[in-house]
Structure 1
Amino acid sequence: MKKIIVPIDFSEHSEFALEAAVKLAKPNNAEILALHMLEMSDAVLNSTDSEQQQKAVFFLKLAEKRFNEFLDKPYLKDANITPIVKHFKVFSEVNDVANEQGADLIIMGSHGTSGLSEIFVGSNTEKVVRNADVPVLVLKHKLDKNDLKNVVFASDFSIESLAVYKKASKLFNTLNAKLHLLHVNLPSDRFRSTNEIDETVSDFLMKADGNLDNLKHINFVSDYTVERGVLNFANKLGADLIAVSTHGRTGISHFFEGSISEDIANHAILPVMTFKM
């Protein structure tokens, strides 16, 4: 992992993300790109009027000053951090910066810990996750640990999930994290017997890894919903992170049916990392 992007809006939650980036970047000597999205209208940015141009320069200087003050933190002293100010109006364009810079990960802080409102719906986090080609780590709280040792990655082990699994395996291997693969069996028309799950998982791992070495890391649980199964398993395991896959074309979609990824990301207390399918 060489580059991590952290969108900064000067909130407490963006500071959670920045601190987490430092903890994950240092072992890999990765560069942190602290990105501030300066929301200015095209009328101001492209105006030929001298007064409007002066106004644009004023806001740019003000944003840079506040940005530099925000980045003046003791924990950033030895970090390899690069501030970037972009004149974008929408957070979906964070993906453009990620692609330009060849970033490996985006880290964002997000609200919604009370459960009274969904953290993604209509939020900047949703826009980033929906459009990001790289993984996005979403935090609701300060990341207390310096590393992520145990990661729960839930999957239906379908062919469509192969690319995401490979991407997740590569990233978590870089972070020296142990990947706990999880299948949630439901008492519905999607119920599968133990033999059926074994066959599906074995076929999946042979296609993905070319061997069955990770079969020992597969976990089966039964529950009434996939969300409950994932959250209960993660809590029982004492996991540090939950990883889910998303469909960018439909927003925060999911790897099964319904709004599973969205529900997990909204209701999990643990950090959640999304991977675009």
Structure 2
Amino acid sequence: MKFFSKVMVGMDLTEMDDILIKKTIVFLEFLGVEKCYFLHVSKNLALPEDIIQKYPNLVASGDETIEAMIQQKLKEYHFPKSVETEIIAEEGDHPLDTFLRWAKIKDVDLVIMGRKETLKGSGALANGVAKKAPCSVMLLQEKRSEGLPKKIMIPTDFSQHNHMIYSFGERIADELNAELFPVHFYEVPHGYSKTGKSFEEFSEIMKEHAKNDFKKFVAKHNHPDLSCDFILNDGDNIGELLLKEAHKLDIDMFIMGSRGRTKSAAMLLGSTAEKLIAANNVLPMLIFKQKGENMGFFEALFKL
């Protein structure tokens, strides 16, 4: 099944590029990739001195040197010749805007970015792309071993929007013969004491209510027998709670979605996704977005 035929991979001319290329190769067949763009965006295309020393044979300047260097890496890691590739080295004062513009120009289905754990880098570009890209985004972590996921966690809130994300998660799990782990956070309302019940008693009421909502929700999907992990959110950071639960269950990928409900807001993620992006730099994430949601924003971006 072809999920994403055109993919764009962000390159930053560090060791992370090697990691990202190797990890991307693992996903190519499953994702159904037919063309892969490798994009480097820099405020200045002049190469750093350490790059020049490492690749003395690359005597061209600027974008030609960068393109040749990335091409050399693709050859080194035996990037499949069955997948068409194109390398783009672009200069721009605002790397995020430039990256997003190229994603729109190439009409890509998926952007793949790296998340660093020990390597230098703020991760600001990857985070910005995850939040604002006009398509789905996959974040692949530096230290995580290569391989397709076998345990996939999908935060579930039973909303109409979440049906789309859940169906997408089911398709991926079926394709990979992987387990899907829905998780839902429930809360106790502040006014619970007015009911005459204790916090613990009302917590159980809210949990049972969530269980009933999940039964109705999952009945509309292909795996109605799936169980959901219900977690009480008593004010902690949801991103950190999700990561903690994922480690407990030995999860190896998150799938989430954007929550844009209008064309102007579609580029933004829901608060849970943003908090997980901020908290998680150890597990891969696939943020699913419907292409075309952000077109109004990107038409404006082209006019900047």
Shorter-chain TM-score tier: 0.7 to 0.9
Q: Which of 91-100 and 266-275 deviates more?
A: 91-100
**C-alpha displacement of 1:148:** 0.6
1:15-30 matches, cutoff 5 A: 15-27=18-30, 30=33
- Is 1:108 matched with 2:109? no
1:1-277 matches, cutoff 5 A: 1=3, 2-27=5-30, 30-31=33-34, 33-39=36-42, 58-76=61-79, 80-85=83-88, 87=90, 89=92, 90-95=95-100, 97-98=102-103, 103-111=108-116, 123-189=124-190, 193-206=206-219, 208-209=220-221, 213-224=223-234, 225=236, 226-247=238-259, 249=265, 253-254=269-270, 259-268=271-280, 269-276=282-289
Q: Which of 151-160 and 214-223 deviates more?
A: 214-223
**C-alpha displacement of 1:27:** 4.8
SS at match of 1:152: strand
Question: For the residues of structure 2 that align with 1:3 and 1:94, how far apart are their CA atoms?
Answer: 15
**C-alpha displacement of 1:153:** 0.6
2:275 maps to a residue whose letter is D
1:153 maps to a residue whose letter is I
1:9 maps to a residue whose letter is D
1:60 maps to a residue whose letter is D
Is the 8 Å Cα contact of residues 13 and 111 (structure 1) preserved in structure 2?
A: yes
Question: For the residues of structure 2 that align with 1:193 and 1:238, how far apart are their CA atoms?
Answer: 27
1:4 maps to a residue whose letter is V
Structure 1: tracts of 5 or more residues without a match: 42-56
SS at match of 1:193: helix
Aligned-residue Cα RMSD (Å) equals: 3.4
**C-alpha displacement of 1:15:** 2.7
Is the 8 Å Cα contact of residues 7 and 109 (structure 2) preserved in structure 1?
A: yes
TM-score (norm 1): 0.73
Cα 1:91–1:275 shift into 2, 3 Å:
same
1:242 maps to a residue whose letter is F
Structure 2: tracts of 5 or more residues without a match: 45-59, 193-202, 291-304
Question: For the residues of structure 2 that align with 1:129 and 1:80, how far apart are their CA atoms?
Answer: 24
Question: For the residues of structure 2 that align with 1:29 and 1:227, how far apart are their CA atoms?
Answer: 30
Cα 1:216–1:68 shift into 2, 3 Å:
closer
TM-score (norm 2): 0.67
2:113 maps to a residue whose letter is M
Residue identity over aligned pairs, in percent, reads: 18
**C-alpha displacement of 1:150:** 0.6
Question: For the residues of structure 1 that align with 2:182 and 2:38, how far apart are their CA atoms?
Answer: 33
Question: For the residues of structure 1 that align with 2:268 and 2:168, how far apart are their CA atoms?
Answer: 18
Question: For the residues of structure 1 that align with 2:169 and 2:30, how far apart are their CA atoms?
Answer: 18
1:50 — aligned with what? none
